Structure 1
């Protein structure tokens, strides 16, 4: 096993490092152990490590192309994990799937609660928002019923955080269902046809090179380009990228959450909406005095989400929350 290189001033003894990396929880190209977080280089997974004692904060950074905002471009969101350590140094790691970043952050939140999970700028904005909410709550003089329901939602949030995979699976499966429903089926079959042509060209390229025929290298390169492009683009219709499989994944995620919340007396929302962000935004609605009961807060939240579309401008922190939960409501038709 390749020994990871140290980032920062602190280091771990070799034996301790080897064991920690071996048993670390893997999230995409990175990993989180008991003693350190393991980060990727451009080509090699978990190539570096930062001892947890050196980590100052860990957060997600999203780069989004114009196509990501309009829905018409070739590129969408580009997720990164950023680890700040020592005195302001940082390491940025690129991820293929944003859900892996979310799972890593959720794992850190549970196992290393002392590590901040937002950038300093985001932290300041969240603190300002919390202050505004407290001020609204003070001025609005909300009822005891609303205060009781806020505490109820807070307890439910803590319960969900005991098994982060359940609500992350729920959110991610809803996203995949939404993306699949919105995509044109013809694109998948066109991609498959081009990939098959690429395979044929690749095979012919090898044959041409072996027999010294002309232009063999061009067929070879075209074939490789087509294969790598579409195999990595999650466009091809495969056993894991078809309607039946995606719908089954969503149903399984809802069923697993249903079983989990059965042990919680009177869980405040249906299993299909059991996500900490949903409950947190319902708390905000209660604090603002826009609702007094939990069912009313859920109805207001649904109306808020319906009103949010591509023409509405929101801050990054709110965007992250919306993309985590709105697909859950969309695939359920806000029922």
Structure 2
């Protein structure tokens, strides 16, 4: 085993850290022990570590490989560890769920470590202070009436959770396809075609004896890799997940929601935005006295979601809310 080295100014006894690594829980290239977080070196995984005593924050950071995050250039998820009063270590995580499990593990193993960024911690404290202030404040009669109406809407909506979950899920899929630029699809198709043609030509030339075995095998391998890469890029339309089918499935989900809500005499939200998370966000806006009616709160929420991008600092709860409902608004063009 390679010698375990601390990247922090603090360290553990050699026997202690070896034993901790032996029983650490593995998450991608990282590991969470009972006394330290293990991170990869230049070659091997989990050969460096940071003691819990040196860590202040562990959080996710989402960045884009270009300014707008469109097309084949997708969002990039980083796991960031902040230690030694300001130093940071970060690494790309491919799986969001695995990153969430690692954060949960750390929060249980070391409750004193924040599982959000310093800015997120400060924002959460301000929001908690605001929540306490709102609870002690009396709302206007109009605002109270709006909240009661939203609570009734939520009861109606939760009678059929499959409908709003399907609508939200289809909105996410539709949004992803809408973000893919046509030129990226054309480039991916050309590369796929080039891979197929290159593979076929190399194979034929080799069988005819017009191409040496070595170059033929290398060419076919490169072409096969290109074909697999383009097929798995999620840029090219498939037999099921293509724009026409996704638009049809989204419209069907929206129609099912409209039909379901038509059975209630007084329901206040548009079907396209009907989700319990939207209702909770609207109630919060009214309690914050940023609006008094449901329509006013809905307009405020639209502006809030438009302003949300990768540069905004949000808490974990807000992030989950945004990724759940923002596609529902973007595919409807915030109408």
**TM-score, normalised with respect to structure 2:** 0.60
1:191 maps onto 2:188 in alignment: yes
What is the aligned partner in structure 1 of residue 157 from structure 2? 160
User: 66-75 or 167-176: which moved more?
Assistant: 66-75
What is the aligned partner in structure 1 of residue 97 from structure 2? 81
Does the CA-based 8 Å contact 2:64-2:73 persist in structure 1?
A: no
What is the aligned partner in structure 2 of residue 51 from structure 1? none
For residues 281-301 of structure 1, the C-alpha deviation after alignment (integer angstroms, 9 at most, x for no partner) is 101011111222222211221
Secondary structure of the residue that 1:236 maps to in structure 2? coil
Following superposition, the deviation at residue 160 of structure 1 comes to 3.4
1:270 maps onto 2:267 in alignment: no
1:65, 1:311 → 2: CA distance? 9
Work out which of the residue numbers 59, 65, 68 in structure 2 matches 1:67. 65
1:307 maps onto 2:307 in alignment: yes
Secondary structure of the residue that 1:254 maps to in structure 2? helix
When the two chains are superposed, the root-mean-square deviation of aligned CA atoms in Å is 3.7
Distance 1:67 1:227, change over 3 A: same
For residues 178-232 of structure 1, the C-alpha deviation after alignment (integer angstroms, 9 at most, x for no partner) is 3333332121122112112212233344445656642111122112211211111
Following superposition, the deviation at residue 155 of structure 1 comes to 4.2
What is the aligned partner in structure 2 of residue 330 from structure 1? 330
For residues 91-114 of structure 1, the C-alpha deviation after alignment (integer angstroms, 9 at most, x for no partner) is xxxxxxxxxxxxxxxxxxxxxxxx
Secondary structure of the residue that 1:289 maps to in structure 2? coil
1:206, 1:80 → 2: CA distance? 40
1:62, 1:135 → 2: CA distance? 28
Work out which of the residue numbers 169, 174, 179 in structure 1 matches 2:166. 169
Does the CA-based 8 Å contact 1:178-1:327 persist in structure 2?
A: yes
2:126, 2:167 → 1: CA distance? 27
Aligned pairs for 1:104-119 (under 5 A) are none
1:89, 1:283 → 2: CA distance? 32
Does the CA-based 8 Å contact 2:261-2:271 persist in structure 1?
A: yes
For residues 245-296 of structure 1, the C-alpha deviation after alignment (integer angstroms, 9 at most, x for no partner) is 3322221121111122223342220100001221111010111112222222
Distance 1:240 1:88, change over 3 A: closer
5+ residue gaps, structure 2, are 1-58, 77-93, 108-112
1:318, 1:68 → 2: CA distance? 24
Instruction: Give the count of matched residue pairs.
Output: 246
Distance 1:315 1:127, change over 3 A: closer
User: 188-197 or 171-180: which moved more?
Assistant: 171-180
Following superposition, the deviation at residue 70 of structure 1 comes to 5.4
For residues 41-93 of structure 1, the C-alpha deviation after alignment (integer angstroms, 9 at most, x for no partner) is xxxxxxxxxxxxxxxxxxxx9674542775278342544325869x9599xxx
Does the CA-based 8 Å contact 2:124-2:315 persist in structure 1?
A: no
Secondary structure of the residue that 1:81 maps to in structure 2? helix
1:88, 1:182 → 2: CA distance? 34
Following superposition, the deviation at residue 312 of structure 1 comes to 3.5
Larger radius of gyration: 2
5+ residue gaps, structure 1, are 1-60, 91-118
Distance 1:180 1:133, change over 3 A: same
